[in-house]
């Protein structure tokens, strides 16, 4: 055994909605798992191991790996849980990659899920921060993001109108995605007129709370092409969980994205990401991130993110479409959100993205964001990597 | 399996209440001890896996609290939720994947800041079971009864485990509860949940453990003493207690068999020289010994009577004192691995098992041992 190349061979998503009272957690998980198995024409007996994750305090269930067995199909299988906040889904995808690449397991089922309707999201997220230094200042997720947006605006002169353009893009894209929770086009004026949640973030700049699950099946190179005619090869993974304290953050730039993307692109020999990448599924929980983080990723120059967005380059027909799925702003079952990015990137590479398909995708990027301004990244490609 | 070694171990002393230490303080101590033990600096660590649990820590994204202290700043890092033995498995797979040469794995818990009963009650299904008021202790009491009924094991046998492990802890400076006690002391201690007396239960503990894994090419680079991983496997049984035969650890058997087959072991009771098993309760040691095939079904009680599992017995189990002598929950399995490493290096001092060259370590997730992780370690490559 040793290093194996790894590909996504199947994906499944639930019917994502703000509230799914028709299913309990195990049933929600099962809905995604069955669809992924169906998509890859595999049976649960074919699965060698399961990786699962969510955010514990959103459902208030401890040891979810154990509790979820009836839904995930983990009975008498190896099952492992990972949790890293917003990055959970990408953390799961990376774990799936490594345990398949290790040669220990051939076919691995990866499940991310959340029933946000059962939680007080802000109450739960607030406990992530240090009780002495950070918790009293940064309540929930939105306050840190507002600080980031303010710092960037002060530095580069961007406006909330620039951010609104990102929201307009993603919400338009979402109309092509049957899995997106919010499928309604908005105008820039509507975004700017929507209630101010945390200056400069308006309601329509930010992600919703969603009930949903996503399942992804990864397989080793020994079987991937037998299972799937056009598998989505994982070219590499990289991440940075840079900070423990929000007070330490270099606000206005996403350091974790900068360092993770540098590492990832150099691993794969990508020198001009803007030209070499065909589509990005960016974990973008609010619109300003769509401007700021593409600079850290090297897609736009520092301070030029807004200009790049206004050019239409990241729209469906642009040179580098971002979030053809509609992204996080349109759908956000947190523990699944970053895994949905991975699944959507895989669909693009496989050519199975239907109405949201970008033409001829050879290279795709999916990301996760969470914790204390952390970034996870996966690089996807149609060609089997030669390294 | 490609050769992977454990090249560094470090742990805090296990204590009832580390009032002066945050999660990060404990991680800092364990990580630096492990780095010193391995002869490395943090720059030699390629990637980091921390292991924690949001419920036990009372924090969402509990891994965030120990990231800085575990040196993740400029590295790839991830976080497993559950027992540290599972965290170590993920750390191992990231080396086998060819992505990294060394992995630092940590696991921590502060039982002193937790309410065990509420936290483990939250592991029960919120719709069907939680309102019954079950927690880890009451559920495990049912399992103990069920196991005792099947095998004819008596409360005295359970007490023998407690006497042995608390006695072993006297030789382990990291242990929380070294005690010279008798079988009667155990049987006369407070009844917590029939048949479990207070001294049948592990204590509330604080602590952190760190382990450094390395690929073969990196294992001998830093001057430490590598111990080699020969097999590792994990497996989960069904969730609802009523769906399982609580007296038979089906998933442990499966995990053990897989780990043994990876390690080329056909007669575990003869080929394993020392075992560190997850003795959260006294009965669990007896039950897991059988599940792991270290003795015949239903025979652990007889062997216990013959002192077979004592430090000088035919198969010493938990010479470190086990979890009965200190149980920082999430770190439990990783500490078992670290203790097995100590034995194989011959560095266990007064609790050294003579001539131990092959060891087994074991971790658990979930209620009544739903999910088990088994490690086989060897002093030889």
Transcribe B345-363 into DSSP letters: HT--GGGPPTT--EEEEEE
Q: Torsion over CA of B241, B245, B251 and B253, rounded to 10 degrees?
A: 160
Say yes or no to pLDDT of B300 above 60. Answer: yes
For the segment B275-296, the average pLDDT, to the nearest whole number, is: 98
pLDDT for residue A121: 87
Is A1 part of any domain? no
A82/B250 CB distance under 8 A = no
The proportion of chain A whose per-residue pLDDT surpasses 90, expressed as a percent, equals 93
The shortest CB-CB distance from B238 to any of A2, A75, A103 is to A75
Q: A44 and A167 in one domain?
A: no
**Predicted confidence (pLDDT) at residue B2 exceeds the cutoff of 90:** no
User: Helices then strands (H, E): number in chain B?
Assistant: 14, 11
Domain span including residue A291: 129-208+233-381
Residue A53 lies in a domain: yes
> Do the Cβ atoms of A103 and B251 come within 8 Å?
no
Among the partner-chain residues A3, A53, A66, the one whose CB lies closest to the CB of B97 is A3
> For chain A, what percentages of helix, strand and coil (3-state, to nearest 5) are there?
40, 20, 40
Pairing mode of beta strands B76-81, A279-281: unpaired
DSSP-assigned beta bridge partners for residue A7: A219, A233
Looking at the structure, tell me whether residues A324 and A296 fall in a common domain: yes
pLDDT at B163: 98
Q: What is the DSSP string of B81-97?
A: ES-HHHHHHHHHHHHHT
Residues of A in contact with B89 (CB under 8 A): 80
> Between vectors from CA B253 to CA B247 and to CA B254, what angle results, nearest 5°?
130
Within 8 A of B330 by CB-CB distance, chain A residues are none
* Cβ A91 vs Cβ B79: under 8 Å: yes
Interface check for B184 against chain A (CB to CB < 8 A): the answer is: no
pLDDT at A63 over 90: yes
Q: Rounded to 5 degrees, what angle do the CA atoms B304, B327, A80 make? A: 100
CB B269, CB B292: distance < 8 Å: no
Same domain, A169 and A268: yes
- Between CA A236 and CA A377 the distance in angstroms is 8
B226-284, pLDDT tens digit by residue?
A: 999 999 999 999 999 999 999 999 999 999 999 999 999 999 999 999 999 999 999 99
Instruction: Please give the interface size between A and B, counted as residue pairs whose CB atoms are below 8 Å apart.
Output: 198
Strands (E), B82-173: 102-110
CATH topology of domain B4-114+206-219: Peroxisomal Thiolase; Chain A, domain 1 (3.40.47)
Q: Specify whether A139 is located in the same domain as A18.
A: no
Position A261 pLDDT exceeds 80: yes
For residue A1, pLDDT over 70 is answered with no
Q: Which pLDDT does position A140 carry in this prediction?
A: 82
Domain boundaries, chain B: 4-114+206-219
pLDDT of A387: 81
- Could you check whether the bond before residue A380 is cis, i.e. omega within 30 degrees of 0? no
DSSP string, A65-103: HHHTHHHHT-TTB-EEEE--GGGHHHHHHHHHHHHHHTT
Average pLDDT, chain A: 96
Cβ-based burial of B98 (10 A; exposed 0-12, middle 13-18, buried ≥19): middle
> Same domain for A171 and A42?
no
Q: What is the pLDDT of residues B180-199, one digit of tens each?
A: 999 999 999 999 999 999 99
Average pLDDT score over residue span B121-129: 93
In tens, the pLDDT along A273-302 reads 999 999 999 999 999 999 999 999 999 999
Select the residue of B61, B74, B97 nearest A98 (Cβ to Cβ): B97
Residues A105 and A133 in one domain: no
Instruction: Looking at the structure, tell me whether residues A77 and A219 fall in a common domain.
Output: yes
Q: What is the ipTM of this complex?
A: 0.97
pLDDT tens, position by position, A235-259: 999 999 999 999 899 999 999 999 9
**Domain final residue pick, A162, A195, A227:** A227
State the pairing for strand pair B47-52/B206-215: unpaired
DSSP helix/strand/coil, A324:
coil
Interface touch A56/B60, C-beta < 8 Å: yes
- Give Cβ neighbours of residue A72 (< 8 Å, ≥ 6 apart): A26, A29, A30, A33, A50, A52, A79, A109, A111
Strand pairing category for B358-365 and B274-276? parallel
Angle at alpha carbon of residue A153, lines to A160 and A142, rounded to 5°: 70
- The alpha carbon dihedral of B16, B20, B24, B29 has a sign of negative
Instruction: Kindly tell me if the per-residue pLDDT of B38 is higher than 50.
Output: yes
Reply yes or no on whether the pLDDT at B202 is more than 70: yes
Q: Is residue A386 part of a domain?
A: no
Q: A87-91, A142-146, A230-234: which range is least confident on average? A: A142-146
Q: What is the DSSP letter of A319?
A: S
**CATH number of the domain encompassing residue A219:** 3.40.47.10
Identify the pLDDT of residue A132. 87
Is the domain of A62 the same as that of A155? no
Is A387 inside any structural domain? no
Chain B residues touching A56 at Cβ < 8 A: 53-55, 60, 81
Instruction: Say whether B239 and A66 touch across the interface (CB within 8 A).
Output: yes
Chain A within 8 Å of B59 (Cβ-Cβ)? Answer: yes
**Residue A95 in domain:** yes
Same domain as A107, residue A133: no
The continuous run of DSSP H or E covering A214 comes out as: strand A211-220
Write out pLDDT tens, residues A308-351.
Answer: 999 999 999 999 999 999 999 999 999 999 999 999 999 999 99
A99 touches chain B (CB under 8 A): yes
**Are A247 and A366 part of one and the same domain?**
yes
Report yes or no: A340 and A331 within 8 Å, Cβ to Cβ: yes
With CB atoms and an 8 Å threshold, state whether A242 touches B73: yes
Q: How confident is the model at residue A138 (pLDDT cuts 50, 70, 90)?
A: confident
Of chain B, the percentage scoring pLDDT greater than 70 comes to 100
Query: What are B332-377's pLDDT values in tens digits?
Result: 999 999 999 999 999 999 999 999 999 999 999 999 999 999 999 9
* pTM for the structure as a whole: 0.98
- Measured from the Cβ of residue B251, the count of other Cβ atoms closer than 10 Å reads 26
Q: Is A229 an interface residue toward B (CB < 8 Å)?
A: no
B47 touches chain A (CB under 8 A): no
Residue B46 has pLDDT above 90, yes or no: yes
Verify whether the Cβ–Cβ distance A128 to B64 is below 8 Å: yes
Give yes or no: residues A161 and A102 share one domain. Answer: no
pLDDT in tens, A355-368: 999 999 999 999 99
Instruction: Give the mean model confidence (pLDDT) for residues A201-218.
Output: 98
Average pLDDT, chain B: 97
Burial B316-335 (b: 16+ CB within 10 A, else e): bbbbbbbbbbbbbbbbbbbb
Question: What is the gyration radius of the CA atoms in chain A, in angstroms?
Answer: 19
Say if the Cβ atoms of A124 and B60 lie within 8 Å.
yes
The pLDDT value recorded for residue B354 is 97
Q: Of A227, A260, A287, which residue is a domain's last?
A: A227
What is the C-alpha to C-alpha distance for residues B200 and A258, in angstroms, rounded to an integer?
Answer: 52
Answer yes or no: are the C-beta atoms of A336 and A212 closer than 8 Å. yes
Do the Cβ atoms of B68 and A91 come within 8 Å? no
Phi-psi sector, A334: left (phi>0), alpha (psi -120 to 50), beta: alpha
pLDDT greater than 50 at residue B133: yes
Question: Are B55 and B111 a contacting pair, CB within 8 Å?
Answer: no
Asked whether residue A95 falls in the same domain as residue A73, the answer is: yes
Q: Is B350 exposed, middle or buried (0-12, 13-18, 19+ CB in 10 A)?
A: exposed
Model confidence band, residue A2 (pLDDT cutoffs 50, 70, 90): low
User: How many folded domains does chain A comprise?
Assistant: 2
């Amino acid at each position: 055994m040793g290093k194996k190349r790894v590909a996504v061979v199947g994906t499944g998503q639930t019917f994502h909605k703000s509230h799914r009272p028709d299913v309990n957690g195990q049933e929600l998980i099962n809905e995604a798992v069955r669809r992924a198995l169906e998509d890859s024409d595999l049976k649960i007996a074919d699965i060698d191991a399961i990786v699962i994750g969510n955010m514990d305090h959103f459902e208030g269930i401890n040891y979810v790996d154990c509790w979820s067995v009836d839904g995930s199909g983990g009975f008498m299988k190896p099952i492992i849980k990972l949790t890293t906040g917003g990055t959970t889904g990408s953390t799961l995808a990376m774990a799936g990659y490594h345990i398949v690449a290790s040669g220990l397991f051939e076919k691995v089922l990866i499940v991310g899920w959340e029933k946000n309707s059962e939680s007080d999201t802000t109450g739960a997220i607030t406990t992530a921060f240090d009780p002495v230094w950070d918790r009293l200042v940064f309540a929930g997720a939105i306050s840190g993001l507002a600080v980031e947006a303010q710092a960037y605006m002060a530095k580069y002169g961007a406006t909330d109108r620039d951010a609104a353009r990102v929201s307009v893009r993603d919400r338009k894209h979402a109309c092509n995605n049957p899995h997106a929770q919010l499928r309604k086009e908005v105008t820039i004026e509507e975004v700017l007129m929507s209630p101010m949640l945390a200056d400069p973030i308006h309601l329509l700049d930010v992600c919703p709370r969603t009930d949903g699950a996503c399942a992804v099946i990864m397989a080793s190179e020994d079987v991937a092409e037998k299972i799937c005619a056009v598998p989505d090869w994982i070219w590499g993974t990289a991440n940075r969980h840079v900070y423990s304290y929000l007070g330490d953050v270099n606000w206005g730039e996403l350091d974790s994205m900068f360092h993770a993307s540098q590492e990832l692109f150099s691993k794969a020999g990508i020198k001009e990401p803007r030209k070499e990448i065909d589509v990005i599924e960016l974990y973008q929980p609010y619109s300003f991130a769509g401007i700021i983080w593409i600079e850290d990723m090297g897609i736009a120059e520092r301070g030029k993110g807004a200009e790049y967005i206004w050019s239409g380059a990241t729209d469906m027909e642009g040179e580098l479409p971002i979030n053809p799925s509609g992204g996080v702003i349109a759908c956000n079952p947190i523990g699944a959100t970053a895994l949905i990015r991975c699944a959507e990137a895989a669909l693009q590479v496989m050519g199975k993205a239907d109405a949201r398909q970008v033409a001829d995708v050879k290279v795709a990027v999916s990301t996760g964001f969470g914790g204390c301004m952390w970034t996870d990244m996966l690089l996807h490609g149609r060609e089997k990597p030669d390294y | 399996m490609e050769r992977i070694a454990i090249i560094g171990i470090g742990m805090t002393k296990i204590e009832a209440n580390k009032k002066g230490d945050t999660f990060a303080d404990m991680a800092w101590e364990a990580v630096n001890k492990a780095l010193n033990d391995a002869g490395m600096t943090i720059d030699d660590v390629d990637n980091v896996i921390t292991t924690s649990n949001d419920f036990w820590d009372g924090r969402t994204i509990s891994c965030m609290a120990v990231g800085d202290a575990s040196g993740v700043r400029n590295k790839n890092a991830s976080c497993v939720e559950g027992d540290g033995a599972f965290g170590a498995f993920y750390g191992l797979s990231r080396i086998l994947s060819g992505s990294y040469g060394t992995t630092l794995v940590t696991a921590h818990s502060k039982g002193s800041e937790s309410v065990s009963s509420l936290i483990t009650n939250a592991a029960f299904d919120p719709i069907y079971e939680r309102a019954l008021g079950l927690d880890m202790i009451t559920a495990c009491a049912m399992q103990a009864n069920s196991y005792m009924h099947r095998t004819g094991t008596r409360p005295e046998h359970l007490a023998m485990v407690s006497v042995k492990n608390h006695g072993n802890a006297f030789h382990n400076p990291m242990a929380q509860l070294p005690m010279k006690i008798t079988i009667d002391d155990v049987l006369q201690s407070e009844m917590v949940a029939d048949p479990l007396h207070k001294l049948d239960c592990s204590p509330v503990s604080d602590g952190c453990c760190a382990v450094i894994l390395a690929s073969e090419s990196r294992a001998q680079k830093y001057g430490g003493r590598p111990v080699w991983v020969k097999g590792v496997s994990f497996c989960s049984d069904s969730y609802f207690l009523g769906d399982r035969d609580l007296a038979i650890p089906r998933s442990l058997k499966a995990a053990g068999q897989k780990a043994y087959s990876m390690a080329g072991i056909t007669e575990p009771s003869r080929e394993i020289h020392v075992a560190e098993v997850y003795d959260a309760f006294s009965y669990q040691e007896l039950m897991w010994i059988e599940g792991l095939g270290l003795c015949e079904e239903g025979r652990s009680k007889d062997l216990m009577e013959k002192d077979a599992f004592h430090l000088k017995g035919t198969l010493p189990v938990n010479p470190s004192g086990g979890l009965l002598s200190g149980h920082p929950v999430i770190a439990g399995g990783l500490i078992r691995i670290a203790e097995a490493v100590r034995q194989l290096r011959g560095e266990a001092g007064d609790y050294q098992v003579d001539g131990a060259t092959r060891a087994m370590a074991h971790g658990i997730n979930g209620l009544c041992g739903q999910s088990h992780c088994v490690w086989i370690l060897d002093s030889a490559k």
